[in-house]
């Protein structure tokens, strides 16, 4: 808004009436009651803001001046803000008269400096009747509104229009896409919602002893057996899954769900996945006649089904909601809806998909022979529809497996959002059974069993090991142990023997939890036995008489052997450490009347010192081995065996440096011990320098010869 000329006129000043009213508004002391804290005192005033209004000298502009109660009560006559409202060009701007700057904020966001939360107001702003009428007339806000409300309403409208214009490019594009989505839903859509989408919410309401009940699905009175209980599940004669609900115990039934439909767009090649939020309610007061209380489209995904292998592509997702800050409800790009608590959320959800139109609309696409509708109808779970549809075009042979009778296997994949489960799939193999890594016979067996993913994995593992399982064995493994490492031993000891042992010795499944523990012990034992190099082909090793005893014994042997190995390793290291210690001793042989130096020569020396001194010197063992430092122990001459101080020395290119010198519990060494160590280092330095010189001389002599 143009600012030029707006401030040429002087601001309005408070009338005498305003000053008086504000002065008389001395407030009432009130107490706020809180549940968990003491009541708090506050003052309630009659009015917070006082307004004056007048047309500006400039064409089409109304000036509204805002005064605060506080200012007026203190005798200030000047307004806090001068609000200029351009009612012809629909625009506004405010002048902060205190800070002398412009503000484009709406009236509710102006900083009026009266500590909004320190007081309370009865809510009535003060304005003369004439001012109120003037404002409402110019802003076109009716005539009953309070000045602040009228100004805010006008300003909100201006903002909305501005934002709409600013986002025009985005919204126009979205609208163009949305226009291609068919308006109409299938003719039997409501029937679909009732029979399929809302199925898990349906109930039969019964009165005890009458033998009849009311089904919310078929809306008929049906026979109810005497044996039914509240919350028992069953099936109505209409075919719907239902839950029995006692008339007495259930006042209201509410069920919330998501349903979807896929339609072809008017452009002839794009598909629209449309997601609806549906809520059904049935109340006792209304004789449990179900009503759909919420029904709206909340999400759309526009996609194409390409001819080549690959997932769905397209224009992405759209959500219905408030577009950014415009306050306008419309289709928005997924994740940009303003839900009051932020952006970035999507309402895309698992849904029950309408299937009757799928065959027709998928005709001519690469999915035309995939029994999409049969697969979806075979589950009573809601599906991640677009993920499953995408997966159907990426190489997993839905059609072939379905036709061969692997229905459960296929259905579980759909229920897993079209992802691979336990069974490994080799998408590059040609034949359907080759993709599973099994023989054709194995696959026929799986079809006969209508195998689950886990059962298929068991068959696959056995096939990989060159073992054949019979139906009973597959079902037993599936039910009781799943895909277990013990299968690795099938080729050696036969599935028959291994399963028999699990039944007889581990007590599976009759022993319950104890059986599971026994199985765990056994596999643990076998693992240990294998590491010990025992003969796993030997039946007396593999099938121990007493699992627990065999386990404990094996673990004992293992621990002993490991300790032995560790000790051997340490022995070799100590040999090196011993050699180092000898060299160090040559330099650090200094002693005085009170102290002497001990050089640790093996791991046990480090460990004992660390333990007695309560420090971590033992961890320096490896460091010394790597020549990264030297560790010395200071001892009192009167008690040479008793630890006193522990010292770390660094050797920087032939120069010794004390890094730490500490007594027990990592406390600093006593002063005498520190002085002793300094002298010792100096002595050591002299000795090594001497040795070096000697060596040099020797080298010189050698070269001379
Ligand atoms: Zn029914």
For 501, other C-beta atoms within 10 Å of its C-beta total 19
- Domain membership flag for residue 425: no
Ligand 1 center to 219 CA (angstroms): 6
Q: In 3D, which of 55, 71, 61, 93 has the Cα closest to residue 14?
A: 71
Are residues 580 and 527 located together in one domain of the fold? no
Element (H, E) at 294: strand 291-304
Note whether 133 and 150 are within 8 A (CB).
no
Rounded to two decimals, the pTM is 0.62
Ligand 1 center to 243 CA (angstroms): 11
Ligand 1 center to 287 CA (angstroms): 15
Ligand 1 center to 161 CA (angstroms): 52
Are residues 502 and 590 located together in one domain of the fold? no
- Domain membership flag for residue 444: no
Ligand 1 center to 203 CA (angstroms): 8
Ligand 1 center to 213 CA (angstroms): 10
Element (H, E) at 29: strand 28-32
Q: Copy the structure tokens of residue 102.
A: 């412009």
Ligand 1 center to 36 CA (angstroms): 51
Ligand 1 center to 350 CA (angstroms): 25
Are residues 666 and 687 located together in one domain of the fold? yes
- Which residue ranges of the chain lie beneath pLDDT 50? 116-118, 704-705
Are residues 187 and 301 located together in one domain of the fold? yes
Are residues 572 and 560 located together in one domain of the fold? no
Ligand 1 center to 371 CA (angstroms): 28
Ligand 1 center to 414 CA (angstroms): 28
Domain, as residue range, for 300? 178-353
Number of independent structural domains in the chain = 4
Please give the pLDDT value at position 95: 95
Ligand 1 center to 239 CA (angstroms): 7
Which residues are CB-contacts of 43 (< 8 A; sequence separation ≥ 6)?
A: 27, 28, 29, 30, 119, 120
Helices then strands, counting H and E runs in the chain, come out as: 23, 25
- Domain membership flag for residue 82: yes
Domain boundary among 333, 353, 373: 353
Ligand 1 center to 298 CA (angstroms): 29
- Domain membership flag for residue 345: yes
Are residues 528 and 662 located together in one domain of the fold? no
Ligand 1 center to 231 CA (angstroms): 16
Q: In 3D, which of 212, 236, 21, 53 has the Cα closest to residue 131?
A: 53
Ligand 1 center to 466 CA (angstroms): 51
Are residues 596 and 657 located together in one domain of the fold? yes
Ligand 1 center to 222 CA (angstroms): 7
Ligand 1 center to 410 CA (angstroms): 30
Ligand 1 center to 107 CA (angstroms): 58
Q: In 3D, which of 267, 265, 232 has the Cα closest to residue 246?
A: 232
Taking only the tens place, the pLDDT of each residue in 407-462 is: 999 999 999 999 999 999 998 888 999 999 999 999 999 999 999 999 999 999 99
Are residues 664 and 594 located together in one domain of the fold? yes
- Domain membership flag for residue 368: no
CA separation for the pair 401, 414 (Å, rounded): 13
Residues shown for the chain: 705
CA separation for the pair 470, 493 (Å, rounded): 16
Domain boundary among 549, 564, 579: 564
Ligand 1 center to 698 CA (angstroms): 109
Ligand 1 center to 257 CA (angstroms): 19
Q: What is the CATH number of the domain that holds 634?
A: 3.40.630
Element (H, E) at 319: strand 313-322
Taking only the tens place, the pLDDT of each residue in 361-375 is: 999 999 999 999 999
Ligand 1 center to 195 CA (angstroms): 9
Across 172-284, the runs of DSSP E, i.e. the strands, are 203-206, 212-215, 221-223, 233-235, 241-246, 252-264, 271-283
């Amino acid at each position: 808004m143009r600012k030029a000329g707006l401030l040429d006129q002087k601001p309005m000043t408070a009338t005498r009436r305003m000053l008086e009213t504000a002065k008389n508004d001395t407030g009432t002391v009130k107490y706020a009651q809180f549940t968990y804290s003491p009541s708090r005192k506050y003052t309630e005033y009659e009015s917070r803001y006082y307004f004056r209004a007048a047309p500006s000298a400039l064409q089409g502009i109304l000036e509204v001046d805002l005064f605060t109660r506080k200012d007026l009560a203190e005798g200030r006559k000047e307004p806090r803000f001068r609000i200029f409202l351009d009612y012809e060009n629909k625009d506004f701007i405010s002048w902060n008269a205190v800070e002398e700057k412009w503000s484009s904020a709406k009236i509710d966001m102006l900083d009026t400096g009266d500590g909004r939360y320190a007081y309370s107001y009865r809510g009535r702003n003060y304005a003369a009747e004439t001012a109120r009428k003037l404002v409402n007339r110019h802003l076109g806000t009716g005539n009953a509104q309070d000045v602040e409300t009228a100004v805010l309403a006008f300003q909100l409208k201006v903002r909305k229009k501005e934002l709409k214009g600013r986002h025009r490019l985005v919204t126009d594009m979205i609208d163009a896409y949305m226009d291609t989505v068919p308006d109409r839903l299938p003719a039997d859509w409501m029937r679909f919602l009732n029979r399929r989408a809302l199925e898990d919410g349906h109930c039969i309401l019964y009165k005890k002893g009458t033998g009849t009940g009311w089904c919310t699905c078929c809306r008929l009175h049906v026979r109810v057996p005497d044996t039914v209980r509240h919350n028992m599940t069953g099936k109505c004669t209409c075919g719907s899954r239902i839950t029995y609900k006692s008339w007495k115990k259930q006042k209201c039934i509410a069920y919330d769900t998501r349903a979807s439909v896929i339609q072809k767009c008017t452009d002839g090649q794009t598909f629209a996945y449309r997601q609806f939020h549906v809520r059904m309610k049935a109340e006792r007061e209304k004789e449990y006649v179900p009503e759909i209380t919420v029904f709206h489209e909340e999400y759309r995904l526009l996609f194409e089904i390409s001819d080549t292998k690959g997932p769905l592509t397209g224009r992405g997702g759209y959500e219905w909601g408030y577009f950014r800050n415009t306050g306008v409800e419309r289709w928005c790009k997924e994740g940009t809806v303003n839900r009051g608590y932020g952006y970035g959320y999507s309402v895309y959800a698992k849904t029950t998909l309408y299937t009757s139109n799928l065959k027709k609309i998928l005709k001519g696409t690469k999915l035309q022979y995939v029994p999409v509708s049969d697969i979806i109808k075979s589950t009573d779970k809601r599906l991640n529809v677009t993920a499953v549809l995408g997966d159907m075009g990426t190489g997993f042979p839905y059609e072939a497996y379905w036709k061969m009778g692997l229905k459960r296997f296929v259905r579980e994949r759909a229920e897993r959002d079209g992802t691979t489960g336990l069974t490994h799939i080799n998408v590059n193999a040609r034949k359907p059974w080759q993709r599973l890594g099994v023989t054709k016979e194995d696959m026929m067996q799986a079809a006969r069993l209508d195998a689950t993913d886990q059962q298929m994995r068991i068959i696959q593992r056995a096939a990989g090991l060159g073992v054949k399982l019979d139906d009973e064995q597959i079902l037993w493994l599936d039910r009781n142990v799943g895909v277990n490492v013990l299968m690795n031993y099938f080729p050696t000891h036969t599935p028959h023997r291994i399963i028999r042992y699990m039944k007889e010795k581990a007590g599976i499944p009759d022993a319950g939890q104890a059986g599971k523990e026994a199985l765990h012990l056994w596999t643990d034992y076998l693992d240990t036995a294998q590491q010990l190099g025992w003969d796993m082909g030997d039946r007396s090793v593999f099938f121990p008489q007493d699992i627990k005893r065999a386990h404990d014994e094996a673990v004992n042997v293992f621990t002993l052997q490991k300790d032995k190995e560790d000790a051997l390793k340490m022995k070799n290291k100590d040999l090196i450490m011993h050699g180092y210690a000898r060299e160090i001793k040559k330099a650090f042989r200094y002693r005085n009347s009170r102290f002497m130096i001990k050089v640790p020569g093996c791991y046990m020396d480090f460990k004992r010192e660390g333990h007695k001194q309560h420090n971590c010197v033992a961890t320096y063992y490896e460091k010394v081995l790597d020549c990264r430092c030297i560790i010395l122990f200071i001892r009192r001459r009167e008690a040479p065996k008793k630890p006193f101080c522990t010292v770390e020395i660094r050797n920087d290119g032939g120069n010794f440096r004390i890094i730490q010198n500490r007594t027990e519990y990592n406390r600093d060494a006593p002063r005498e011990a520190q002085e002793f160590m300094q002298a010792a280092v100096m002595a050591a330095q002299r000795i090594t320098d001497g040795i070096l010189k000697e060596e040099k001389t020797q080298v010189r002599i050698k070269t001379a010869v």
